[in-house]
Structure 1
Amino acid sequence: MSDLMLTKGERSAHYLVWLILFSVIYISFLEGVIPGARYVKYTLPVFVVFFWVFNGAMHGLGNIYLGRAVIPFVIVVIYGAVQQFFYPSIEGMKDIFFIFVGFIPFLFFDILNDRKFFDRLFYVFALLYCLKMAVVGQVNGEGIVGAYEGTESFVFGIFAICYFQFGSFRHFSVACFFVLLSLKRIAFLGVLFGVLSIVAVPILMRVGLLRIRIGFFLILVVSVIFLFGLSLGYFDEYFGRYFGVSSNQLTMGRFNIYSYVFGDFERLISFWGLGFGWSYELVSAATLGADKNLHSDILKIFFEGGLVLFLLFFYFLSRSINYSSLPLVLYLFCLFLTDNVLVYPQVMFFWLYAVFISNKCRSTF
């Protein structure tokens, strides 16, 4: 239900619900300041169900929302849950739950379409990150620099794209500063692609959404081919010549992981997938226990979910693309290329909220 159709009391309750949900997510970012804080986000489904049932007791059960941006992730959870009957895995069940935590609020509650609320989210998030830098840096004995890198960078990237869409370039600049500060190169690259797509909207409108969605799939195919070529060492000479480092150094260890995976490509590729959680054992073997993440959600969906889930997920993700959501979809795609944010509920929660609010920003903000 739109905010405009709510009574004053209902709007206050709506505001309170989202305030509490965001508070749960924010607390989870304070790991290092508050021991065990990262686990707080996993209580999000409890809060969501409680608020939904309480609201139902007061006003009758509300709607179930199934926006286009949520559908791909619902498909992943359902598909992954079915897979568990055939390929049971504790790690796989954890992954499915983590993905579920990231989108469950958007099934039960319409977003709070309030620019002031969005600005406050940004201010508080920036302040909490500064607090974490100071405290964790001192605890580690590394100085503040030791606390810079973190998943917060992915969230600052989301804020940056939204503020560029809103035309608030002061906020955009501050958000970009924090993206750089938190040292996630792929987040900065994602912001760059997102901003370019916003600037190119007049051209894209002439191209048409259908061609944009087809283009998205072509980018997907090219990305998989790129990862395959990277794993076979096709770019080693180029990286050495222009960056002065090896492929493994430039990709921070991902080259060895991708090489191990693609080296056994024929055995690992599957129509139905090898099951969620499978990649952890493979990567652990490839890195002798030094790492367990595949560091690419594109490859994770491709190998664990198989061709079926891969095509379903990215088809419905492309269906969520419009001129407002395209920058954020491109941003997420960049993160998917070299990171595993799909199982970061705190990041996916922000991304989904941003997608829904961006679809309303042009007419409201």
Structure 2
Amino acid sequence: MSDAKFESTTSFIFGLFTLFFFFKKQKLHGIFALIFLILSFKRIAILGVFAGLSLHVLLRKNSLFNQHAKFIFITIIIVINFIVPLIQILIATGSFDDIVENLTGITANHFTQGRQYIYDAIVGKFGLPSFTGEGIGSLNSYLISKEDNINNVHSDLLKNLYEFGYIFFALWVFFFYAFLLKRKHIGALCLAIYINIVFITDNVMIYYEVMFVYYLMIVTLLDDEFVNQLKKVRSSLIALIINKC
């Protein structure tokens, strides 16, 4: 894990604000948030912002909100969320050690900032994820019991896959997106993609300030959409009344 003094959970918040301001068309605010994000140098957050903005551009030009498209989207998302932890398990078992060292000149554990050691400990204890799961909190409890000053998995995806099991993990991913797909809000959906990406390498679900800002932004975006819909209805009613008069 990184020991950089300038890196903290605020990196994730800067990423959220970058996306939020761009979605609200407050570009100057978005640029400032992006600058602070880059200065914080949280690689996964920068990747998440890039993915969120790219998806926003893509979805603005293509309809995602018919039933067929939504089914394909959520299926792809669930599959990716399964693939990523399985790759992390392969990292733990050393499957990519030679590739990483040849490409970067450093060990896989160094490249992942110590995460390979944690993943290896988890795989060594629990083996592969099960269908029923190990139970919520089981991975953290195990890491704490090792008494080597590591208390967290540093991957919410890997943690949830092990603790929830295959079935409930798939349901968790599904419901994480289902409501936003139902509300048909592209910006809110892209924020979810961003958070999903930072779940890969960090314990974001226990960073209450990050999750609070995330859900507050989701509510704000959806509320704006609701207000806009009310304004359209009001305008239509006024026009109808005027025509009848």
TM-score calculated relative to the size of structure 2: 0.79
Q: Conserved in 2, the CA contact under 8 Å of 1:298 and 1:336?
A: yes
Cα distance, 1:297 vs structure 2:
0.9
Task: Answer yes or no: is 1:241 the counterpart of 2:102.
Answer: yes
- What's the % identity of the aligned pairs? 29
Name 1:297's counterpart in structure 2. Answer: 156
Q: Residue 233 and residue 146 in structure 1: after superposition, are their counterparts in 2 closer, same or farther (change >3 A)?
A: closer
Name 1:191's counterpart in structure 2. Answer: 49
Unaligned runs of 5+ in 2: 229-245
Cα distance, 1:311 vs structure 2:
2.4
Q: Secondary structure at the match of 2:154?
A: coil
Name 2:20's counterpart in structure 1. Answer: 162
Name 1:343's counterpart in structure 2. Answer: 206
Letter in 1 for 2:166: L
TM-score calculated relative to the size of structure 1: 0.55
Q: Secondary structure at the match of 2:158?
A: helix
Name 1:222's counterpart in structure 2. Answer: 83
Name 2:169's counterpart in structure 1. Answer: 310
Q: 2: distance between equivalents of 1:285 and 1:240? A: 31
Unaligned runs of 5+ in 1: 1-144
Q: Residue 211 and residue 360 in structure 1: after superposition, are their counterparts in 2 closer, same or farther (change >3 A)?
A: farther
Q: Conserved in 1, the CA contact under 8 Å of 2:85 and 2:161?
A: no
The number of residues matched between the two structures is 219
Name 2:129's counterpart in structure 1. Answer: 269
Task: Answer yes or no: is 1:205 the counterpart of 2:63.
Answer: yes
Q: 1: distance between equivalents of 2:212 and 2:111? A: 29
Q: 2: distance between equivalents of 1:218 and 1:334? A: 14
Cα distance, 1:251 vs structure 2:
1.0
Q: 2: distance between equivalents of 1:240 and 1:358? A: 44
Q: 1: distance between equivalents of 2:200 and 2:207? A: 15
> Following superposition, which runs of at least 4 residues in structure 1 exceed 6 angstroms of deviation?
none
Name 1:280's counterpart in structure 2. Answer: 140
Cα distance, 1:300 vs structure 2:
1.6
CA RMSD of aligned residues (A): 2.5
Q: Residue 343 and residue 229 in structure 1: after superposition, are their counterparts in 2 closer, same or farther (change >3 A)?
A: same
Q: Secondary structure at the match of 1:320?
A: helix
Name 1:358's counterpart in structure 2. Answer: 221
Q: 1: distance between equivalents of 2:18 and 2:49? A: 7
Letter in 1 for 2:69: G
Q: 1: distance between equivalents of 2:165 and 2:134? A: 7
Q: 1: distance between equivalents of 2:92 and 2:61? A: 35
Q: 1: distance between equivalents of 2:130 and 2:50? A: 34
Q: Conserved in 1, the CA contact under 8 Å of 2:17 and 2:33?
A: yes
